[in-house]
Structure 1
């Protein structure tokens, strides 16, 4: 791949990349020093492994974070590119250096607050660094590579790996700490998704209706959305297999805030309209609202989004 051969210095030191990386590192540092490390709470991935090994071997967490990430950074260098690997290495080194020289006292001893706010801040940090085109935790690079060599999805690989970490936490610390650590991981994962995808994650809404002309007019003229129309057939129902009709299959790109309103308006036109909804990662081109993403994000953010299928009567 061409991106493996040279380092894109302009992208590496762009204002966008520097700001997101710095904010992400600061957020992760506050999460680790102010919430997680003083209370032995874990996140998943390399961060969780580093906290476990620190407790067992009494080796400083910052050293372990760098050492355990190096194999994954090398894998990222080989599979994704030099720019990505260097950006990720800089982010990890920034985090370890700041944690070494800046001391943040524990914010609270309340376990629920630690799990929620620690998870939120570490997820925010990871998400911001990913938006900058790097990573703070190399486990997702490994999952991306392993997916191509196994029958398991990326999400299944990451979940299995993290489950082993939390089982280890139950033995090294106690079951309660492992359970709270899972809450940290869940909060962090959701926060990372929102930071990367945005609160207005784009969705493909597909509608099949006998009143397709009215539905097309509704979406375009009333909601101001562009549509794509596929030619198809509807029918083929149990008991009436031979009954079929030509129809237009209408697809439009909407945000999660628009789905419910469009569905309700469509049902008022055709109560038997059929819907299915699919989350999509990115929208570019056309007249729709665009989302700006770094080309490396799809490589390092390997949390697969499953399609959510909904149907009318």
Structure 2
């Protein structure tokens, strides 16, 4: 058996011919499995010939990926039967190797001692500190084949696999079991946290909705409505219609009626859960305006503009943090965005220009200008309540040690990342020296910036990191909250 010649040939072929999207089942994986199989084989006390058979099976166990993804084990066996006789393997040895290879097919069902060793070597990483690195590579590979695979689904698959998995050899159990259990506990905590975060209605959300609605009602009845002031957005439209009707139609009825179409629309452009929460919030706001006897606070126009906008902004912001909205203008803007070339900011600005222009024409320029101040105060307060000191920042990282940094960002900081393919180098005096590099982009809060830098520089002190403020995002109604 000419194992070393075979190994050189197979590894060269895998490096050269496997597609790039095989981020897990690549040549590096085969090299790792060969090394792990030899290590476990020696710990299990295998003889020289058995070690050679095991090494050969490890070399070829994923070679079938050269021609097939599904059924690659069978393809590996077919390749083995065609190739191994050229390297002085006998027919009986070839069949033993094929039996070992087939044992790695999930769910693993090894029969012989060598098969058990290769099965343990094939998933050796689950009992190491590098578990996250390799599980992320496998996720990217599976995501390529199934773009609908979510992080939550993948996390559940990992938890289920590690819970059901058992190492077959005593050496693997002794060496890897403790670390595997630690990895499982960590995954379990992540899965529990994500499951809890995705519950439809948490107690915190309910409290935020209640306080938000009560505060918005206070702003409307205590400041704006008694003094005939307006705001922007759907609240502004409701106030405008209320004044144009000369108070004959109750404001609560108008707010519910104006927002009703947007609640239905939000079920399609956001989510059903968001629509349900928003419906509850709007009904609660209507009941507050209809039933609660809020006191009129002041008639001073400047105080009304500033503090009316301030309390209205707090109310809207709190409901947004609770996963809904008492002002559905962003739902309308997002729907319009999908059918036009305008940005959300431009759409909101256009709607507000219409509102304040009508207010100026019907009720005077002074009222319109004060109402603009109200809207400005409210919008800035909403930004502060929703974002607080956690306004988001885009960070770009260029490092020669990008693989470890990617793993840390995803699994330690819990951030999604985007990878650009680029080149680094081109320094003065060394212009001709340059290498390929993965350029990492991620979005974090300002509070996390120092943590990110410490994480990056711990892996690569020479990494180049730069950040920029995120002005606007598209693709969601609650742009700075997780989707509900």
Aligned to 2:284: 94
Give 2:386's match in structure 1, choosing from 196, 201, 204: 196
For 1:254 and 1:79, locate their aligned partners in 2 and report how far apart those are by CA, in whole Å: 25
Give 1:106's match in structure 2, choosing from 296, 299, 316: 296
Shift of 1:18: 1.1
Q: How does 1:22-61 map to 2 (within 5 A)?
A: 22-58=210-246, 59-61=249-251
* Paired residues of 2:397 and 2:441 also in contact (CA < 8 A): yes
Shift of 1:193: 1.9
Counterpart secondary structure, 1:177: helix
For 2:296 and 2:215, locate their aligned partners in 1 and report how far apart those are by CA, in whole Å: 14
Q: How large is the Cα RMSD of the aligned pairs?
A: 3.9
Larger Rg belongs to: 2
* Cα distance change on mapping 1:147 and 1:15 into 2, 3 Å: same
Shift of 1:113: 1.9
> How many correspondences in the alignment?
261
1:143-163 deviation digits (Å, cap 9, x = unpaired): 111101101011111110111
1:22-64 deviation digits (Å, cap 9, x = unpaired): 0100110111111111122211122111111111112221111
1:69-117 deviation digits (Å, cap 9, x = unpaired): 1111111133333322221111111111111111222212222222121
For 1:77 and 1:232, locate their aligned partners in 2 and report how far apart those are by CA, in whole Å: 40
Give 1:21's match in structure 2, choosing from 190, 209, 232: 209
For 1:253 and 1:77, locate their aligned partners in 2 and report how far apart those are by CA, in whole Å: 27
Shift of 1:247: 9.0
Counterpart secondary structure, 1:204: strand
For 1:148 and 1:253, locate their aligned partners in 2 and report how far apart those are by CA, in whole Å: 24
**Which structure: greater helix fraction?**
2
Asked if 1:277 corresponds to 2:468, the answer is: yes
For 1:106 and 1:298, locate their aligned partners in 2 and report how far apart those are by CA, in whole Å: 40
* Paired residues of 1:204 and 1:280 also in contact (CA < 8 A): no
For 2:346 and 2:377, locate their aligned partners in 1 and report how far apart those are by CA, in whole Å: 18
Structure with greater contact order relative to length (CA < 8 Å, sep ≥ 6): 1
* Paired residues of 1:197 and 1:281 also in contact (CA < 8 A): no
Q: How does 1:103-142 map to 2 (within 5 A)?
A: 103-142=293-332
* Cα distance change on mapping 1:162 and 1:19 into 2, 3 Å: same
For 1:33 and 1:145, locate their aligned partners in 2 and report how far apart those are by CA, in whole Å: 30
* Paired residues of 2:265 and 2:331 also in contact (CA < 8 A): yes
For 1:226 and 1:74, locate their aligned partners in 2 and report how far apart those are by CA, in whole Å: 33
Shift of 1:281: 8.6
For 2:420 and 2:478, locate their aligned partners in 1 and report how far apart those are by CA, in whole Å: 31
* Paired residues of 1:208 and 1:275 also in contact (CA < 8 A): no
TM-score normalized with structure 2 length: 0.46
* Cα distance change on mapping 1:256 and 1:12 into 2, 3 Å: closer
Give 2:477's match in structure 1, choosing from 295, 300, 308: 300
* Paired residues of 2:393 and 2:467 also in contact (CA < 8 A): no
* Cα distance change on mapping 1:247 and 1:57 into 2, 3 Å: same
Give 2:366's match in structure 1, choosing from 176, 190, 212: 176
Counterpart secondary structure, 2:231: coil
Aligned to 2:258: 68
* Paired residues of 2:269 and 2:334 also in contact (CA < 8 A): no
* Cα distance change on mapping 1:244 and 1:204 into 2, 3 Å: farther
For 2:422 and 2:350, locate their aligned partners in 1 and report how far apart those are by CA, in whole Å: 41
* Cα distance change on mapping 1:256 and 1:79 into 2, 3 Å: closer
* Paired residues of 2:314 and 2:385 also in contact (CA < 8 A): yes
**Which structure: greater strand fraction?**
1
